[in-house]
């Protein structure tokens, strides 16, 4: 079967991700090995398919075991693996996409709210927002910041136009 080229969508300044992506997760805290397919629908990540496989020597797949799967955590894990860094090639004719690992933010935090740091603050914020999680809390945890510092950095990133998602605190509840 021939696989189509992935469709990439911009995801903030300097980043992109596949519109639909999947990852296989085998973790000791999960009752099964899992493969999850996630799609960006509007501004939110949605699980569109989930496959559970019995671990070697593990328990059988049951409805109780399926209910214990932390789908939101699996969606976040998949999204974090699907982020690519965008940059122009030296001739400026195309965009080069390279996988990026969302790690090492404590080092960026030590540099303070530089432009590079704030671009990553915006990325973490946007990923958390798309996963229906608290964006500012995600920035706080990823960068090891105090809540007030995380709020200040998010505000700076928003002022620079790096964060264009609505502030979840001002969203109306339905």
DSSP string, 33-66: EEEEEEEEETTEEEEEEEEEEPPTT-PPP-HHHH
Report the alpha-carbon distance of residue 27 to residue 76 in Å, rounded. 14
Which residues are CB-neighbours of 164 under 8 A, at least 6 positions away?
none
Reported as a single tens digit per residue, the pLDDT across 53-93 is 999 999 999 999 999 999 998 998 888 888 887 776 666 65
- Domain final residue pick, 83, 117, 144: 83
Question: Is the same domain home to 12 and 53?
Answer: yes
Residue 112, Ramachandran bin (φ over 0: left; ψ between -120 and 50: alpha; else beta): left
Question: Is the same domain home to 79 and 118?
Answer: no
Which pLDDT score is estimated for 140?
A: 92
Question: Is the same domain home to 118 and 61?
Answer: no
Cα 89 → chain centroid: 25
Q: Is residue 91 part of a domain?
A: no
Q: What domain count does the chain have?
A: 2
- Domain final residue pick, 26, 50, 83: 83
Place of tokens 């996409």: 97
Reported as a single tens digit per residue, the pLDDT across 134-169 is 999 999 988 999 999 999 999 999 999 999 876 655
Could you tell me the residue range of the domain that residue 138 belongs to? 102-170
Question: Is the same domain home to 16 and 65?
Answer: yes
Strands 20-25 and 33-41: antiparallel
Report the alpha-carbon distance of residue 96 to residue 150 in Å, rounded. 31
Question: Is the same domain home to 123 and 65?
Answer: no
Q: Calculate mean pLDDT across residues 98-123.
A: 80
Question: Is the same domain home to 119 and 79?
Answer: no
Question: Is the same domain home to 121 and 75?
Answer: no
44-48, 96-100, 131-135: the lowest-pLDDT one: 96-100
What's the chain's average pLDDT?
Answer: 83
pTM: 0.77
Which pLDDT score is estimated for 18?
A: 84
């Amino acid at each position: 079967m021939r696989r189509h080229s992935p469709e990439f969508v911009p995801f903030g300044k300097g980043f992109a991700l596949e519109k639909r992506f999947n990852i296989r997760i085998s973790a000791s805290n999960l009752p099964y090995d899992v493969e999850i397919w996630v799609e960006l629908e509007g501004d939110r990540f949605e699980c569109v398919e989930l496959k559970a496989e019995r671990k070697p020597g593990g328990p059988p797949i049951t409805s109780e075991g399926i209910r214990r799967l932390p789908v939101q955590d699996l969606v976040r894990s998949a999204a974090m693996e699907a982020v690519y860094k965008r940059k122009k090639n030296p001739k400026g004719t195309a965009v080069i996409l390279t996988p990026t690992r969302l790690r090492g933010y404590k080092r960026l935090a030590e540099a303070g709210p530089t432009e590079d740091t704030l671009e990553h603050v915006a990325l973490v914020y946007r990923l958390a927002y798309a996963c229906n999680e608290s964006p500012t809390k995600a920035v706080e945890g990823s960068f090891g910041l105090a809540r007030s510092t995380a709020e200040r950095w998010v505000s700076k990133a928003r002022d620079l136009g790096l964060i264009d998602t609505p502030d979840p605190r001002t969203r109306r509840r339905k």
